[in-house]
Amino acid sequence: MTELRKPLIAANWKMYKGPRETREFMRRFVGLYPPRTDRTIIFFPSAISIPAFLEATAGRPDLQVGIQDVHADLEGAHTGAVSAPMAAEAGVGWGLAGHSERRSEFGDDDADVARKLRRLLDAGLPPILCVGETLEERTAGRLEEVLQRQIEAVLGGLGGRTWSPPVLAYEPVWAIGTGETASPADASEAHAIVRQVLREAPGDATRGVVLYGGSVKPDNIDALLGARGVDGVLVGGASLEPASFARICLGETGDGRSDLQLL
Ligand code: PGA
């Protein structure tokens, strides 16, 4: 464990970039982003491109890699799925759980997300739990209730496992892939709610790392990283181009991050 106080910046490539494009991206990216000790960088490529990522970054252990989704079972007759132990064996170090696209497109509910997160923990992969409200929920004044439900479902299902520190990404659904970003003030407000839920939960989840996600771009990264309570970002579209993501990784940090230790 080293002192964190450094932002965690993650790229979610979703269903973009096969092995060839992954190698090409990393070849350009390493030239644009020299190793730095004052931030943590994690890529979430397509599962099929993970070996190519690892090969292309063999000389850059500072560039970490995670799996975008795992199945809630350890193994079984689940055509097309990947388990957490398989991901760990393939060399990944992190996992996403509960991304809004998994929830809306694939029907993952809070119970599924809780099971997947447990599988990641059991496989030794620190999870990043994605939470966030739809526009309809926000407009109806249900932000707090939605975040509380999504987080408590996972904390309540840990079954005695340690998730420390919990890492969450607040990603308002209305800001994902839309070009519409939450203002730094909106992000701070939601992050404060996330922390409040963590504080009030039973167990030892009081100290969380909270990322913001939703149309993060080179031109808003500095403001977001400078916002109170924003410990880093999860980036989709703007992480697909090397110069754009390198600029985001080099974002100016403010004083808003929580004072805690991580990784
Ligand atoms: P976006 O995606 O940056 O393209 O909005 C973010 C995410 O889905 O994690």
Which of these, 169, 168, 153, 144, lies nearest to 110 by C-alpha position? 153
Please tell me the number of Cα atoms within 13 Å of 196 on its side-chain side.
11
Q: Tell me, what's the pLDDT at 257?
A: 58
Pocket probe for ligand 1: among 12, 44, 135, the residue whose CB has the most ligand atoms within 8 Å is: 12
Whether the pLDDT of residue 102 is over 70: the answer is yes
Distance 170 CA to ligand 1 centre (A): 11
* Lowest mean pLDDT, pick from 58-62, 135-139, 211-215, 252-256: 252-256
Q: Tell me, what's the pLDDT at 201?
A: 80
Pocket probe for ligand 1: among 9, 128, 212, 216, the residue whose CB has the most ligand atoms within 8 Å is: 216
Q: Tell me, what's the pLDDT at 3?
A: 42
State what percent of residues in the chain have pLDDT above 70. 92
Q: Tell me, what's the pLDDT at 1?
A: 38
Amino acid at residue number 237:
G
pLDDT, one tens digit per residue, over 160-186 is 999 999 999 999 999 988 888 889 999
- Whether 191 sits among the annotated catalytic residues: the reply is no
What is the per-residue DSSP string for 7-47?
-EEEEE-TT---HHHHHHHHHHHHHHS---SS-EEEEE--G
Which residue of the set 99, 101, 133, 191 is catalytic?
Answer: 99
- Whether 99 sits among the annotated catalytic residues: the reply is yes
User: For residue 175, which atom of ligand 1 is closest to its CA?
Assistant: 5
Which of these, 135, 110, 125, 200, lies nearest to 167 by C-alpha position? 125
